Amino acid sequence: MPPHPSSSTPPNPDPPWDDLVAWVESDLRRQIQRELPPGGLVSVTGILLTTLRRAVPKSSFLGGSLQEAKNYIRGIATNARLEKTRNAYAQKRQPENGAIISLDIGFDPEGISEQQAQEIWEAVDRLPVELSSVLRAAFIECRTQTEYAEQTGQSPKQVERLLSRALKHLKPKLGIGQE
């Protein structure tokens, strides 16, 4: 926030940018690498680029001290990491990627065609509404069981049972587990 016109204190000077960039490239990079889940869905470089893209236009908020700037950028990096991780998992759960089959109904999600994914979601549509809606909430809308429970007025345990029942009913419709 700019100083009040009657204030005689000059605004804080810019933080030392060279030191800040060096810190981002070394310490912040290592910190993000430690926090990322295994599996490589999100890259550290992608998070750092997003962080810098968001931080540079707001450089007036960085304050004058290096520590204030680090804290501000660390917060942006944390938000970017969470957002990118959430988006990567959401992308992995999209029906065209066949993500529903990755949850204990017997297929390998990596080896599924678009047609097979469409067949799965058509089978989901043939389930009773309460079962298909919990599957769509979990795998298309990427909502947690708790979020779905709050929306529907059920307990999280009821939603867990509902999801389990939905998967149990889906297997025969896909010809899984019939011998």
pLDDT, tens digit (0-9, with 9 covering 90-100), for 64-110: 677 888 888 888 888 888 887 777 766 665 544 444 444 444 444 45
Tens digit of each residue's pLDDT (9 = 90 or more) over 128-155? 999 988 988 887 777 788 888 888 899 9
Whole-angstrom CA distances from 64 to 14, 16, 59, 69, 127 are: 5, 8, 10, 7, 60
More confident residue, 134 or 52: 134
101, part of any domain:
yes
Its pTM surpasses 0.85: no
Residues 115 and 74 in one domain: no
Give me the helices (H) in the chain, please: 17-23, 29-35, 44-55, 66-92, 114-125, 129-139, 145-152, 156-173
Q: Which of 90, 121, 129 is nearest to 105 (CA)?
A: 121
Residues 131 and 149 in one domain: yes
Tokens at 50, concatenated = 């997003």
Last residue of one domain, picked from the residues 92, 125, 154: 92
Q: Say whether pLDDT at 26 is over 70.
A: yes
Domain containing 29 equals 17-92
pLDDT of residue 98: 43
Q: How many domains does the chain have?
A: 2
What is the CATH classification number for the domain harbouring 157? 1.10.10
119, part of any domain:
yes
Rounded CA gap, 134 and 141, in Å? 10
- Give 161-165's long-range contacts (Cβ < 8 A, gap of 24+): 162/130, 162/131, 162/134, 163/134, 163/135, 163/138, 165/131
Residues 53 and 29 in one domain: yes
Please say whether the beta carbons of 77 and 48 come within 8 A.
yes
Q: What is the mean pLDDT of residues 40-53?
A: 82
pLDDT of residue 99: 45
pLDDT of residue 7: 45
Residue 119 per-residue DSSP state: H
Residues 33 and 99 in one domain: no
Q: What is the mean pLDDT of residues 33-57?
A: 79
Length of the chain measured in residues = 179
Last residue of one domain, picked from the residues 46, 76, 92: 92
56, part of any domain:
yes
pLDDT of residue 139: 74
